[in-house]
Amino acid sequence: DADVTQTPRNRITKTGKRIMLECSQTKGHDRMYWYRQDPGLGLRLIYYSFDVKDINKGEISDGYSVSRQAQAKFSLSLESAIPNQTALYFCATSGPLDNEQFFGPGTRLTVL
């Protein structure tokens, strides 16, 4: 079984809709991250969380919010989706003493 899972894997939605992307991990890591990937831009950090009570904005947090429901779960919400949020979204985790991040398979989001 995969250590980091993301649901859904693909989603098409319309402008103005609220959408939630979910991430679960079985690695026992405290630290979790949300990134978006756009062609030619690499990955950019949206939000990160170092434990259940800790939420931090990343490089591009505008238009997004997150919820850390438990150590193993970290959700990303788009309150009112817009077309330029069309991208590939990745969740990642890391341990406290290891800067290596472990990535989920990604969610491809299309906003029409």
CA–CA separation, 66 vs 84, rounded Å? 19
Q: Pick the piece of the chain touching another protein (CB under 8 A) from 12-20, 32-40, 61-69, 73-81.
A: 32-40
Tell me the C-alpha to C-alpha distance, in Å, between residue 11 and each of 43, 51, 70, 90.
19, 28, 24, 14
Residue 109: CB atoms within 10 A of its CB come to 21
Q: How far is the CB of 43 from another protein (least distance, A)?
A: 4
Q: Which is nearer to another protein, 48 or 64 (CB)?
A: 48
Q: How far is the CB of 100 from another protein (least distance, A)?
A: 6
CB neighbour burial string for 29-59, b if at least 16 within 10 angstroms, e if fewer: bbbbbbbbeeeeeebebbbbbeeeeebeebe
Q: Give me the 82-101 binding string for another protein, x by CB under 8 A, dash otherwise.
A: --------x-x-x----xxx
To 10 degrees, the CA torsion angle through 104, 59, 80, 55? 70
User: Interface with another protein includes 1 (CB under 8 A)?
Assistant: no
Site for another protein in 44-63 (CB under 8 A): 44-45, 48, 50, 58-59
- Is residue 72 near another protein by the rule CB under 8 A? no
Which residues of the shown chain bind another protein in the complex (CB under 8 A)? 4, 31, 33, 35, 40-45, 48, 50, 58-59, 90, 92, 94, 99-106
